C-alpha cells in the first residue's frame, strides 16, 4: 500500500463535498490514493437518510466523470438516538464522532497519512472561540485513538478552510451542487424523499446564495 493515502470524511454537505471536489480536481491531491468514508449518523436531527441520498448521487457523479481516478468508498453506522430518554439538550457533536471513526480507520489502514475534513472560513468566522475549541477537542479525540499505536499519527488537513460556503457552492458542478444536503431538520415524504425545512440555522445560512 502506498504510504501517501488521503482519507476524506464525507457527509454529503457543502463543506465535505467541496473537499471531495478538490480530491478529484486539484493537482495537489488527484494523483494520490483516496479513501472516502461516510458515517450514517442516526441522531435526533434525523438527517441520516437525506445525507445518504446525497452521498450516493455525488459519489456516483465523480465515479462516472473521473473514471481514471480510483477511490475506495466505505461507510459506517453510528446511532445516538438512544440518548433521547436522557432528555438532554445536547448530543455528541458530529465532528467528535467523525474524529473517532477517522482515527480507527487510520489505525487499520497504515497507508493513510492525511485526513481531509470539511471546515470553511464561514465556520471559523461564525463559530469564534467556541468553534476553535470544538475543533481542537475533535483532533484530541482523533489522537487519543492512537495512544496505543507506535506509528506516527496522520495529519488532519482542511483543504477548503480558506473558502466561504458560497465560494465552494459556486465552484461545484451543477449536478453536485443540487445534490448537496445542508438542512439540520429534513422533512420526509411518504416515499422517503427529503426536503429542507427552510428554518434551521443552516437553511438560513445558505438561503441567500442558493436562491441566487
Per the listing, cell 442516526 goes with 42
Instruction: Give the model confidence (pLDDT) of 103-122 as tens digits.
Output: 999 999 999 999 999 999 98
Instruction: Give the model confidence (pLDDT) of 56-91 as tens digits.
Output: 999 999 999 999 999 999 999 999 888 878 877 777
Cell of 97: 464522532
- Residue % of the chain over a pLDDT of 70: 98
pTM of the model: 0.92
Rounded Cα distance between 72 and 63, Å, is: 11
Q: Is the pLDDT of residue 2 over 70?
A: no
Are residues 103 and 147 in contact, defined by beta-carbon separation less than 8 angstroms? no
What pairs with residue 77 in β-bridges?
A: 40
Query: What per-residue confidence (pLDDT) applies to 207?
Result: 87
Ordered strands of the 155-157 beta sheet: 72-79, 34-42, 5-9, 112-116, 155-157
Residue 205 banded pLDDT, cuts 50, 70, 90: confident
Q: Is the pLDDT of residue 1 over 60?
A: no
Cell of 67: 473514471
Q: Under CATH, to which class is 5-211 assigned?
A: alpha beta
Domain ranges of the chain: 5-211
Instruction: Give the model confidence (pLDDT) of 11-27 as tens digits.
Output: 999 999 999 999 999 99
Amino acid at each position: 500500500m502506498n504510504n501517501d493515502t488521503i482519507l476524506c470524511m464525507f457527509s454529503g454537505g457543502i463543506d465535505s463535498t467541496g473537499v471531495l471536489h478538490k480530491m478529484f480536481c486539484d493537482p495537489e491531491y488527484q494523483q494520490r490514493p483516496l479513501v472516502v468514508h461516510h458515517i450514517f449518523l442516526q441522531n435526533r436531527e434525523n438527517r441520516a437518510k437525506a445525507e445518504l441520498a446525497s452521498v450516493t448521487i455525488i459519489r456516483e457523479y465523480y465515479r462516472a466523470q473521473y473514471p481514471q481516478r480510483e477511490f475506495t468508498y466505505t461507510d459506517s453506522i453510528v446511532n445516538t438516538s438512544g440518548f433521547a430518554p436522557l432528555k438532554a439538550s445536547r448530543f455528541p457533536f458530529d465532528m467528535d464522532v467523525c474524529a473517532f471513526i477517522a482515527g480507527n480507520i487510520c489505525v487499520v489502514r497504515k497507508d493513510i497519512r492525511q485526513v481531509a475534513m470539511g471546515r470553511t472560513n464561514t465556520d471559523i468566522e461564525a463559530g469564534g472561540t467556541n468553534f476553535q475549541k470544538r475543533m481542537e477537542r475533535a483532533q484530541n479525540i482523533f489522537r487519543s485513538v492512537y495512544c496505543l499505536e507506535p506509528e506516527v499519527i496522520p495529519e488532519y488537513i482542511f483543504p477548503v478552510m480558506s473558502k466561504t460556503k458560497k465560494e465552494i457552492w459556486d465552484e461545484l458542478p451543477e449536478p453536485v451542487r443540487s445534490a448537496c444536503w445542508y438542512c439540520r431538520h429534513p422533512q420526509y415524504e411518504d416515499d422517503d424523499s427529503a426536503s429542507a425545512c427552510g428554518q434551521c440555522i443552516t437553511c438560513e445560512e445558505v438561503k441567500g446564495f442558493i436562491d441566487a
